[in-house]
Structure 1
Amino acid sequence: MEIRQLRHFMAVVTEGGFTAAARAELIVQSALSTSIRNLERELGAELFERTGRRVVLTEAGRALVPQARALLAAAEAVKDAVAAVTDLATGRVSIGTIQTLTCVDLPAELAAFHRDVPGVQVSVRDAPVAELTEALRAGELDLAYLAPDARPLPEGLTVHATWQEELVLVTAPGHPLAKAGRTLIKDLAEEPFVDFRAGTGLETAVRRLAAHCGLERRITCDVTQIGLLVELVRAGIGVAFVPRAIGERAGLPCVRIRQPEPGRTVVLAGRGPRPRNPAAAALLRHLTAAAPAAAGRPDGRRPAAG
Structure 2
Amino acid sequence: MEIRQLRHFMAVVTEGSFTAAARSELIVQSALSTSIRNLERELGADLFDRTGRRVVLTEAGRALLPQARALLAGAEAAREAVAAVTGLAAGRVAIGTIQTLTCVDLPAELAAFHAEFPGVQVSVRDAPVAELTDALRAGELDLAYLVPDLGQLPEGLTAHATWHEELVLVTAPGHRLAAAGRTLIKDLAEEPFVDFRAGTGLETAVRRLAAHCGLERRITCDVTQIGLLVDLVRAGIGVAFVPREIGERAGLPCVRIRQPEPGRTVVLAGRGPAPRNPAARALLAHLTAAARAAAGPPGGRRPAAG
Structure 1 length-normalised TM: 0.93
Q: Among the aligned pairs, what percent are the same residue?
A: 90
Matches within 5 A, 1:55-134: 55-134=55-134
Matches within 5 A, 1:155-234: 155-234=155-234
Deviates more, 1:125-134 or 1:2-11: 2-11
Corresponding pairs, count: 302
Aligned-CA RMSD value: 1.7
Distance 1:138 1:226 in 2: 27
* Cα offset, 1:293, TM superposition: 4.4
* Cα offset, 1:38, TM superposition: 3.2
Post-superposition Cα deviations, 1:60-118, rounded to whole Å, max 9, x if no partner, equal: 21232233222212211110111001111111111110000000011111111111111
* Cα offset, 1:300, TM superposition: 4.0
Post-superposition Cα deviations, 1:34-78, rounded to whole Å, max 9, x if no partner, equal: 332332234333211121654221122123223322221221111
Partner of 1:32: 32
Distance 1:65 1:278 in 2: 26
Deviates more, 1:61-70 or 1:19-28: 19-28
* Cα offset, 1:16, TM superposition: 2.2
* Cα offset, 1:228, TM superposition: 0.4
C-alpha spacing 1:49/1:289, structure 2 compared with 1 (3 Å): same
User: After TM superposition, where is structure 1 displaced by more than 6 Å over at least 4 residues in a row?
Assistant: none
Structure 2 length-normalised TM: 0.93
Letter in 2 for 1:43: L
Give the gaps of 5 or more residues in structure 2: none
C-alpha spacing 1:178/1:82, structure 2 compared with 1 (3 Å): same
C-alpha spacing 1:55/1:256, structure 2 compared with 1 (3 Å): same
Deviates more, 1:90-99 or 1:27-36: 27-36
* Cα offset, 1:303, TM superposition: 2.0
Partner of 2:258: 258
Partner of 2:272: 272
Letter in 1 for 2:88: L
Q: Is the 8 A contact 1:167 1:241 kept in 2?
A: yes
Letter in 2 for 1:49: D
Post-superposition Cα deviations, 1:132-154, rounded to whole Å, max 9, x if no partner, equal: 11111111111100001325323
SS for the counterpart of 1:45 is coil
SS for the counterpart of 1:131 is helix
Distance 1:147 1:301 in 2: 19
SS for the counterpart of 1:176 is coil
